[in-house]
Amino acid sequence: MDVLSRRWATSRGAAPLAGAHAVAPGSTPLDVRRARLESQLEASGIGAALVSPGSDLRYLLGESHSSFERLTVLVIQPGSTPVLIVPTVESSAWESVATRLSIELTPWSDGQDVHAIVAEHLPRRGRVSVSGSLPASHLLQLMGACDGSTFAVDDAVRRLRRVKDDGEIEQLRVAARAVDSVHARLPELLVPRRTEAEVASDVHDLMDAAGFEEVTFVAVASGENGANPHHAATARALRSDDLVFVDISGRLGTGYFADCTRTYALRPPSPAARRLFQALSESFDAAIAMVRPGVTAHEVDRAARTVLERHDLARFFLHRTGHGIGLDVHESPNIVSGNHDVLAPGMTFSIEPGIYRPDLGTRIEDIVVVTEHGCEQLNRQSRDLWVD
């Protein structure tokens, strides 16, 4: 049982996690996250974690700065003051963070052996967890400087990030409402003879107006282009008999991502199109109904596929049923066959079954958060195929 599963068990009355680090009254969410990381490292027998710039560092410190080719890394050891090792040329950007969070700031200058400096802050022997974003060029040199230690891309922080706190969930709600407001405008943009690229450009403008600081992707897949789950947008002109799926993702000013897909008909759909979309809707609903604590990611994926198998459409479902979302648009957990991770309250991920035939495609995607007894759907925009 991993730390996340133990947390869920504790919430249901089991004993607290052994060795858990106490968090002082008045501590911030960032303090709690670092304490949870230390507890997880101890429970896993890991002596230290190296966290490099990116979403993992933002999760622990509240912000992250690019270090380009120079090494920036946060060293976390259970029971020790965290150490943030940064290039001297960028140390001023970190001073207020280090002071506010009681972190030791260790600048290094060009010409110094930064890997030897990092090694001084690591246990002489034992296991070291490394963020997946740490460049291999630095990892290989650290391995040489720390003879006797075992390095593993353990992704300890990313495993913690699977369970969101209340503040994170609220930020995901805000992001979901913002992307819903963009989808609400889609029917007026999807007009015959307009191109996919023209629609995508309008969506970008709407996302800017809705407060998105980053637009990850806008997919406008019409007609036969819908056969490609990762289609973007082309000069293909929309036709009155098209089905069009529109997948929109972006990072709101809060730093958390939204991701939502809807399928649209440009005119009242044919009976065949309605039947296809009804099968997809049943698959989506079956997956949603399966989401609750104690269920595995595999079981949620299986629920979606079983419906499509019954309709002889499973061969057109070409990807996983969902992916985690938070500070990254794609993160853990993956809702996919073979993933037997157990769902716990606070996990957030997409549910997005799709059908991709050679002549058309259709997909529905919402973000959900696991609650104590089921799940909450964060997206509220209509899933109707035809919006008059």
Q: Is pLDDT of 4 > 60?
A: no
Q: What is the mean pLDDT of residues 71-81?
A: 95
Band of pLDDT at residue 57, cut at 50, 70 and 90: very high
Q: What is the mean pLDDT of residues 161-169?
A: 95
Q: pLDDT (tens digit, 9 = 90+) per residue, 256-265?
A: 999 999 999 9
Alpha carbons 134 and 171: distance in angstroms, whole number:
27
Alpha carbons 140 and 156: distance in angstroms, whole number:
19
Domain with CATH 3.90.230.10 in the chain: 166-377
Q: Is pLDDT of 16 > 50?
A: no
Short-list 143, 160, 144, CA closest to 152: 143
Q: Is pLDDT of 198 > 70?
A: yes
What pLDDT, on a 0 to 100 scale, did the predictor assign at position 24?
A: 57
What pLDDT, on a 0 to 100 scale, did the predictor assign at position 125?
A: 82
What pLDDT, on a 0 to 100 scale, did the predictor assign at position 9?
A: 37
What pLDDT, on a 0 to 100 scale, did the predictor assign at position 22?
A: 53
What pLDDT, on a 0 to 100 scale, did the predictor assign at position 360?
A: 95
Q: Is pLDDT of 276 > 50?
A: yes
pTM score > 0.75 for this model?
yes
Q: What is the mean pLDDT of residues 368-384?
A: 97
Residue position matching structure tokens 């595995």:
296
Write 50-54 long-range contacts (CB < 8 A, 24+).
50/74, 50/75, 50/118, 50/122, 50/128, 50/129, 50/130, 50/131, 50/134, 50/142, 51/75, 51/76, 51/131, 51/157, 52/130, 52/131, 52/133, 52/134, 52/135, 52/138, 53/133, 54/131, 54/133
Q: What is the mean pLDDT of residues 267-276?
A: 94
Alpha carbons 325 and 334: distance in angstroms, whole number:
10
% of the chain at pLDDT higher than 90: 82
Q: Is pLDDT of 169 > 70?
A: yes
The pair of three-digit structure tokens given for residue 96, joined into one six-digit string: 């207020």
Q: Is pLDDT of 375 > 70?
A: yes
Alpha carbons 213 and 209: distance in angstroms, whole number:
10
Q: pLDDT (tens digit, 9 = 90+) per residue, 215-228?
A: 999 999 999 999 99
Short-list 316, 298, 346, 357, CA closest to 165: 346
Band of pLDDT at residue 369, cut at 50, 70 and 90: very high
Alpha-helical segments (H) within the chain: 3-11, 29-44, 55-61, 95-101, 114-120, 136-145, 156-161, 166-183, 186-189, 196-209, 271-290, 297-310
Domain with CATH 3.40.350.10 in the chain: 3-161
Rg (CA), the chain: 23
Superfamily of structural domain 166-377: Creatinase/methionine aminopeptidase superfamily (3.90.230.10)
Superfamily of structural domain 3-161: Creatinase/prolidase N-terminal domain (3.40.350.10)
Q: Is pLDDT of 155 > 50?
A: yes
What pLDDT, on a 0 to 100 scale, did the predictor assign at position 253?
A: 86
Alpha carbons 196 and 201: distance in angstroms, whole number:
9
Alpha carbons 294 and 38: distance in angstroms, whole number:
25
Contact residues for 318 (Cβ-Cβ < 8 A; gap 6+): 229, 354, 356
What pLDDT, on a 0 to 100 scale, did the predictor assign at position 7?
A: 42
Instruction: Tell me which of 63-77, 233-247, 301-315, 357-371 is least confident.
Output: 63-77
Q: Is pLDDT of 12 > 60?
A: no
Q: Phi, psi (5° rounding) for residue 9?
A: -60, -40
